[in-house]
Every structure is written in structure tokens, then in C-alpha cells.
Amino acid sequence: MPLPAGALLQLTPQGLYCPAAAAWIDPWRPVPRALISHAHADHARPGCGEYWAVGAGEAILRRRLGASINLIPVDYGDLHRIGGARVSFHSAGHVLGSSQIRLEAGGESWLVSGDYKRCADPSCAPFEPVSADVFITEATFGLPIYRWSSGAAVARQIARWWREAPERPSILFAYAFGKAQRLLAELAAIGVSEEILLHGAVEALMPAYREAGVTMPPTRPVSAVGRGASLAGRLVIAPPAAHRSVWMKRFQQPQTAFVSGWMAVRGARRRRGYERGFVLSDHADWPGLIRTVRQSRARQVYVTHGNSHGLARYLREVEGIGAEPLEGDFAAERGHGDEAPASAGAGAA
């Protein structure tokens, strides 16, 4: 469904556009002014003239988009006048520096969720409920089967899996930005203090989290370990793209596991070729989606990504809330940042 004519936000070939602010939210193509919810590649793209984003994510945005980008860092909750709109950024609880973006003009307010989750995460600021007249929500895991256990519970499962195989390297595959650092923080929170080895793609993003004060175990890049050294009994975190790559040749008979919300789907682990799957997501589960919509107090909801039609139908028929799927070139429909569908290629986690 397209957005109504004259609404505060419009869907253009470049993405969601706010005429009052002359700004696009997480644009799909280069634009003069971009309001960025977070630094995952399907939300923050290179080539824009001006970027507005929460300062906690600045280091990662500059690493991914270029050190010289024109970035205007903001704090959570501060109100900014951009053109004829009032704009504020509120924590989405997704990854370091992630935000929901609220826009107000002409007596109307809209809230764009970006990606978000509702469960506790020691690696980033918690989700902040925000109200608005109209809410645009993701629905990556928009089915009732998706219900998450706590990060602490999953961390204990991972620690047990790792320690029960002291004769083998244990390689945990997780998206390099956000998921990997959350795993480290969750392991630290349950008392893990042993050094953990990291693939270079994960190691490159660690300084931003260390500088933000996130508590994690000591880490070292795998490349810093001598070629002849035994890696038996070591825990290694790597991005899924490294699975079945030449990088794997240095490990002797490793046990492998994949960390994703899609591991809740029967057969997903087997199709991806991992020995074990752990269910942990940086997106809201079904109860989290419903609770967030209710707390937004929105009179109209638009749903993007994942099961957008199913969630919109549930909101209309069960919750009595005006809701419609929002059609467009949303990258999540084909593989969403850190949570590509279980049938997607192994390069997305």
C-alpha cells in the first residue's frame, strides 16, 4: 500500500521522504540529507550529502561510509529543528547507536522504527517506547512462532557447547556488527573471562564498543595467533561469510554454530550447513512487535519487512488498529542486515 498523498512522509524512489525536513530516512540511494537509524548496510548507504545519526554510532558509520562523511551526531531524546519539522532520535535497542526517528510537522507526528528489539542487551541502550500519530514498524519476525529467550540463557547454552568440546576449536558464526558484540557482552555478563578469538571483520568494529564502555571478555584476532599454535578448546567468532571459505582451513576439525533468530525455524541450521544453531536476534519477536505497536498509541500503522501482510492483518482484526503493509524497495524483503531469511545465502547472518 502506498502512503496517502499529503502525508508527513512520502515514499519516493530514494525511500521514505519528509518534505517538511527535506530529508530521507534510511534512503536507498544517495540523497542530499539522510536521517540514519543505524549503521547496518541496508540502512546506511554511501554517497549522501549530509547524515544525521546518534553519536554513539558515529565511529562505525565513519568506518563503513568513510571518515570524511558530513555527519551531524545527535543525542537520544534531543529535539532538532530541521527545515519545517521537529525531529528527535530515540533508542531502538537494536545495536550500538540505533534509533527510532520521530518527525513532527503540521500538527502530525510520525515514528519510523528502523530495526528494534525489546529484550535486554548489555551492548547497547535499551529500547525507548515513543508515541506518535503514525508508526512505521518492521516485521522481520512477524509471526507468532518467534518468541525469544533471554540473551543470558542463550549465552549459557553457548558456553556449555564450547566447553564440552575442549579438543576442538568452536567457531560461532554471527553478523560482524551488533550480533558479535552482543554475544561477547552476554558472555561477559554470565562470567566468561577467557580470551575469545575474532575474525578480522569482527575485530575491526570492536574499538567503537570498547570506547562506549561495553564490558566484554578479552579478545584477539585469529590472525595474531601463530600458525602452528593449537586452537583446540578456543572459542572463535566470525561472520557467516567466512563459513566454508579458505579462512576455515587453519582450523582442525572445528565444531560450528550459527546464531540468528532464524534458528527457531526447523531445518534452517541443516540447510545452512552448521552443526548447531542458537536462537538469538537483534530484532523484536512477535510479542515485542505487538507490545511496541500498542505503546506507540498510533492511530495508523504501516508495516515493512518480513511478514508485513500478516502482522498488518493481525493488528486490524485482533488489535483493532488501522494497519497496512507498506510496499517499497525495502532491502529487508530480500535479506535484512543481520537477519537474512533462512533460505538466503550464507553470506548474510
Computed over every residue of the chain, the mean pLDDT equals 93
Residues 270-293: what's their mean pLDDT?
Answer: 93
The string of pLDDT tens digits covering residues 118-166 is: 999 999 999 999 999 999 999 999 999 999 999 999 999 999 999 999 9
- The top-scoring range by mean pLDDT among 102-111, 257-266, 326-335 is 102-111
pTM: 0.93
* 62: pLDDT strictly greater than 70: yes
* 92: pLDDT strictly greater than 50: yes
* 56: pLDDT strictly greater than 80: yes
Residues 299-324: what's their mean pLDDT?
Answer: 97
Residue 91 maps to a domain: yes
Residue 187 maps to a domain: yes
* 344: pLDDT strictly greater than 80: no
pLDDT band at 321 (very low <50, low <70, confident <90, very high): very high
Is residue 118 domain-shared with residue 172, that is, in the same domain?
no
pLDDT band at 85 (very low <50, low <70, confident <90, very high): very high
Residue 170 maps to a domain: yes
Is residue 207 domain-shared with residue 103, that is, in the same domain?
no
Structural domains of the chain, count = 2
The string of pLDDT tens digits covering residues 208-218 is: 999 999 999 99
Higher pLDDT residue, 333 or 36?
36
Residues 80-93: what's their mean pLDDT?
Answer: 98
Within 102-169, residue ranges assigned H as helices are 151-163
Neighbours of 319 (CB within 10 A): 13
Domain extent, residue 312, equals: 10-145+283-334
The CATH code of the domain that includes 192 is: 3.40.50
C-alpha cell at 152: 543470558
Neighbours of 226 (CB within 10 A): 6
Residue 245 maps to a domain: yes
Is residue 99 domain-shared with residue 48, that is, in the same domain?
yes
pLDDT at 346: 30
Is residue 140 domain-shared with residue 16, that is, in the same domain?
yes
Is residue 296 domain-shared with residue 319, that is, in the same domain?
yes
Residue 339 maps to a domain: no
Is residue 75 domain-shared with residue 59, that is, in the same domain?
yes
Sign of CA dihedral 147, 37, 198, 250: positive
Higher pLDDT residue, 338 or 289?
289
Residue 262: closest CA among 342, 338, 334: 342
Residues 260-285: what's their mean pLDDT?
Answer: 89
pLDDT band at 266 (very low <50, low <70, confident <90, very high): confident
Is residue 226 domain-shared with residue 113, that is, in the same domain?
no
Which of 231, 260, 278 marks a domain boundary?
278
Residue 100 maps to a domain: yes
CA neighbours within 13 Å on the CB side: how many for 290?
Answer: 16
Is residue 62 classed exposed, middle or buried when 0-12, 13-18 and 19+ CB atoms within 10 A define those classes? middle
Dist CA 196 CA 190 (whole Å): 15
Sign of CA dihedral 335, 280, 43, 319: positive
pLDDT at 334: 38
Dist CA 112 CA 100 (whole Å): 6
Residue 139 maps to a domain: yes
Residue 219 maps to a domain: yes
* 74: pLDDT strictly greater than 50: yes
The CATH code of the domain that includes 82 is: 3.60.15.10
Per cent of the chain over pLDDT 90 is: 89
pLDDT at 345: 33
pLDDT band at 267 (very low <50, low <70, confident <90, very high): confident
Is residue 158 domain-shared with residue 74, that is, in the same domain?
no
Is residue 128 domain-shared with residue 159, that is, in the same domain?
no
Q: Left (φ > 0), alpha (ψ -120 to 50) or beta: where does 39 sit? A: alpha
* 71: pLDDT strictly greater than 50: yes
